[in-house]
Amino acid sequence: MSEVTINQVRAYTVRGGGADYHDQAEGHWIDAQIATPMSKYPEYRMTRRSFGLNVLGTLVVEVEASDGTVGFAVTTGGEIGAWIVEKHLARFIEGKRVTEIEKIWDQMFNATLYYGRKGVVINTISCVDLALWDLLGKVREEPVHQLLGGPVRDELTFYATGARPDLAKQMGFIGGKMPLAHGPAEGEEGLKRNLAHLAEMRSAVGDDFWLMYDCWMSLDLNYATRLAHGAQEFGLKWIEEALPPDDYWGYAQLKRDVPKGMLVNTGEHEATRWGFRLLMEMECCDIIQPDVGWCGGLTELIKISALADAHNKLVVPHGSSVYSYHFVITRHNSPFAEFLMMAPKADEVVPMFNPLLLDEPVPKNGRMSASALDKPGFGVRLNPECELARPYTH
C-alpha cells in the first residue's frame, strides 16, 4: 500500500451550487437581503450576488493513484484554484506516495507563502488535501473518520442555517441560525427590524430551541454590542461573525461586552493554525468555526482542533458537508455540527453540496448516524450530470 504513488492531479471547475453554495439561482434565501461588509453601499445591499459573492464557483480536484484509484474533493475556488493546482501545486503532488499527506501540505503551503496564506490559495490547498485524504481512504478501503481515529459517538446532531428556523425545528434540528438582514448603514430602523425578526422567530419556535444570528462580517463593535444586548431578551444563543475577520481586537472586546451566557462565535473566514491561534490567544470567541474546505483542509484542521482543545474551545466547523462530518464524529470538542439548508426556501433538507455529489448523506430528524459515513474515503461520488470544465492542464 505504501508503494502506491500519485500519478496525476487534475483540477476542474463547475457552476451552480456545489461547494460554492452561494452560487445559486435567483430567488434563493441565501441571496435575499443579508447584511454584509458591502451593505453600506445601497447599490450592493439587496443581494449578495450584486457584489459578486458567487464569482468564484466550485473547484474540483482529482488525484489518481498508480493503482488506478481516484480520490477527489470540492471547495470554493473555481478557475483561480484550478490554475494554482495545475500550474503550481501539481509538482508537489505527482510522484509522491499516497501516504505523504503531511509533506505535500507543507510543501504546498510554504511554496505559496509569497502569494498565499489565506483566501483562494488556502481554499485550493484545502481541496488538494481533502482529495488526498479521500484517496488514502479509498486505497485503504476505510472511511476517513477511521483514519482520524474513529468515531467518539454514535451519531451527529445538527443545527440548521437558513431563513426558516421555525421549519428547521419541525425538521428535528437542535437550533436555527438566521442570516442578519440589516447592517449599521440602515441605522436604528434596521436594528429594530433585526430584533423584531428575532422576536417573531422566538415566538414561533418557543423557549428551548436555539436561535442564532449570522452577521457575515457586516457589523462594527458598537452595533454588534447593541444587537447582542437587544437580543438577550429573545434568548439569542450566539452572535456569529459579527465583525470583519481581521478585527481580532474588536472580537476580544465584543466577547467581553456581550450579555453573560451569550456566545461569540467566528472563524469561517479564518485559516491555518496561526490564524486560529490569534483568535484563541486573544480570547476572541467561544466556539471556533473553521470551514474544512477553506482553513487548510483536514491536515490543518487536526492541528487547529488540538490547539482549540488545549484552550478549552469547541470546534464546530462551518458548512463543509462530508468533510466536516468525518471530522466532527471523531472529536470530543466538536459536540454538534452545522447543516446549511440549501433548498431555495429552506423548507426541506437537501444535500449541502447539491447537486454536485452523489451519496452525500443528510441529517434525518436533525441527526446522522456514524454508520452513514461508513464508506471508503469521504464516501461520495461526483454527479456525472454536473458538467466539469478543465480550464488548465500541466
User: Which residues are the active-site residues?
Assistant: 318
358-365 contacts at long range (C-beta below 8 A, 24 or more positions apart): 358/382, 358/383, 360/321, 360/322, 361/322, 361/325, 363/156, 363/158, 363/172, 363/173, 363/339, 364/172, 365/171, 365/172
| Exposed / middle / buried, residue 170 (Cβ in 10 Å: 0-12, 13-18, 19+) | exposed
Grid coordinates of 156: 451527529
Q: Looking at beta carbons only, is 133 or 173 nearer to Mg ion?
A: 173
CA dist., res. 199 & res. 234, Å (int): 6
User: According to the binding rule CB under 6 A, does residue 314 interact with ligand LR3VJJ5N?
Assistant: no
Determine whether the annotation assigns residue 214 to a binding site: yes
Q: Looking at beta carbons only, is 145 or 182 nearer to Mg ion?
A: 182
The strand pairing partners of 164, in sequence order, are none
How would DSSP label each residue in 321-390? HHHHHHHHTT-TT---EEEE--STTS-S---TTTTSEES----BTTEEEGGGG-SSBT--EE-TTS--B-
Positions in 129-188 near ligand LR3VJJ5N (CB under 6 A): 161, 179
Q: Which of 214, 291, 300, 338 binds Mg ion (CB under 5 A)?
A: 214
Positions in 322-341 near ligand LR3VJJ5N (CB under 6 A): 338, 340
Q: Looking at beta carbons only, is 209 or 216 nearer to ligand LR3VJJ5N?
A: 216
Mapping DSSP to helix (H, G, I), strand (E, B) and coil, where does residue 300 land?
helix
- As a whole number of Å, the CA-based R_g of the chain is 20
Instruction: Give the nearest distance from C-beta 43 to ligand LR3VJJ5N in angstroms.
Output: 19
Q: Looking at beta carbons only, is 73 or 163 nearer to ligand LR3VJJ5N?
A: 163
Determine whether the annotation assigns residue 48 to a binding site: yes
Grid coordinates of 161: 442555517
User: According to the binding rule CB under 6 A, does residue 39 interact with ligand LR3VJJ5N?
Assistant: no
Instruction: Give the nearest distance from C-beta 34 to ligand LR3VJJ5N in angstroms.
Output: 5
Contact assessment for residue 215 and residue 35, using Cβ atoms and an 8 Å cutoff: yes
116-to-86, 91, 93, 120, 289 alpha-carbon distances in Å: 16, 17, 18, 8, 21
Determine whether the annotation assigns residue 338 to a binding site: yes
Instruction: Give the nearest distance from C-beta 293 to ligand LR3VJJ5N in angstroms.
Output: 13
Residues 193-232 vs ligand LR3VJJ5N: string with x where CB under 6 A? ---------------------x-x----------------
User: According to the binding rule CB under 6 A, does residue 267 interact with ligand LR3VJJ5N?
Assistant: no
User: According to the binding rule CB under 6 A, does residue 23 interact with ligand LR3VJJ5N?
Assistant: no
Instruction: Give the nearest distance from C-beta 358 to Mg ion in angstroms.
Output: 27
Q: Looking at beta carbons only, is 166 or 268 nearer to Mg ion?
A: 268
- The residue ranges that bind Mg ion (CB under 5 A) are 214, 240-241, 268
- The residue ranges that bind ligand LR3VJJ5N (CB under 6 A) are 30, 34, 161, 179, 214, 216, 268, 318-319, 338, 340
